[in-house]
Amino acid sequence: FNVDGGRCENCKGEGEVTIEMQFMADVHLECEVCKGKRFKKEVLEVTFENKNIDDILNMTIDDAIAFFKENKQDKITRKLKPLQDVGLGYVTLGQSSSTLSGGEAQRIKLASFLVKGTSKEKNLFIFDEPTTGLHFHDIQKLLTSFQALIKKGHSILVVEHNLDLIKCADHVIDLGLEGGENGGYLIASGTPEEVAKNKKSYTAPYLKDKL
């Protein structure tokens, strides 16, 4: 839907048309030609197991994996599995990248590295609050993905406030004491167990409860 040919030319594959308002926010209306489906009629007539491309793009990652697994499309399933592994099973296949949060975008990038397999080049991955919006169960999936990268020889640096992730780190750097202009000072550094014993750290008592 993002190239000429099969996409709806009225909305350019967006599924909606944008009306620019000079002094107000733009108005987005469903495309009258494709009815939000983004493709030409002849493209939508092609089906796989009674599902056309619009039906498939509206599936969540979890639903798509189940659908393609049931229909023995193992190659597609393998490509989608890393997205599920980083806690993005609720995202739809056709979801616009502009609607993703920062944490979701980071996890998609993480999934792209997981699907590549082994590589001689080792990288340092830097994540900023990757657990934002994640359920506890999905945080465990994210941690599993982090461990998979580490086993491949990569290193991971995470800026994070979630204690369920912090307690699993090999090394913790606690900055403070306050935020903004009154913060940024090194308060504690070491393993989660060592930081939890630091009497100056605001993080320590909460981290101690998690260990």
**Please, are residues 181 and 174 in contact by the beta-carbon 8 Å criterion?**
no
User: How remote is the C-alpha of 61 from its chain's centroid?
Assistant: 11
- 7 pLDDT band, cuts 50/70/90, is very high
pLDDT at 3 over 80: no
Average pLDDT score over the chain: 90
Give me the residue label for tokens 């989660």. 192
The pTM of this model reads: 0.72
The pLDDT tens digits of the residues spanning 144-185 come to 889 988 988 899 999 999 999 999 999 999 999 888 888 889
- 200 pLDDT band, cuts 50/70/90, is very high
Show the CA angle centred on residue 86, arms to residues 83 and 89, nearest 5°.
55
Mean pLDDT over 56-63 rounds to 96
- 206 pLDDT band, cuts 50/70/90, is very high
The pLDDT tens digits of the residues spanning 99-138 come to 888 888 888 988 888 877 666 788 899 999 988 878 888 8
The whole-angstrom separation of Cα 194 and Cα 158 is 18
Amino acid (one-letter) located at 166: I
The whole-angstrom separation of Cα 155 and Cα 125 is 6
What pLDDT is attached to residue 20? 86
What pLDDT is attached to residue 102? 81
The whole-angstrom separation of Cα 83 and Cα 140 is 14
Number of neighbours of residue 207 by Cβ within 10 angstroms = 22
Residues of the chain above pLDDT 70, percent: 98
The pLDDT tens digits of the residues spanning 178-199 come to 888 888 899 999 999 999 999 9
Buried residues in 46-56 as b, exposed as e (16+ CB within 10 A): eeeeeeebbeb
The pLDDT tens digits of the residues spanning 34-51 come to 999 999 999 999 999 999
- 1 pLDDT band, cuts 50/70/90, is low
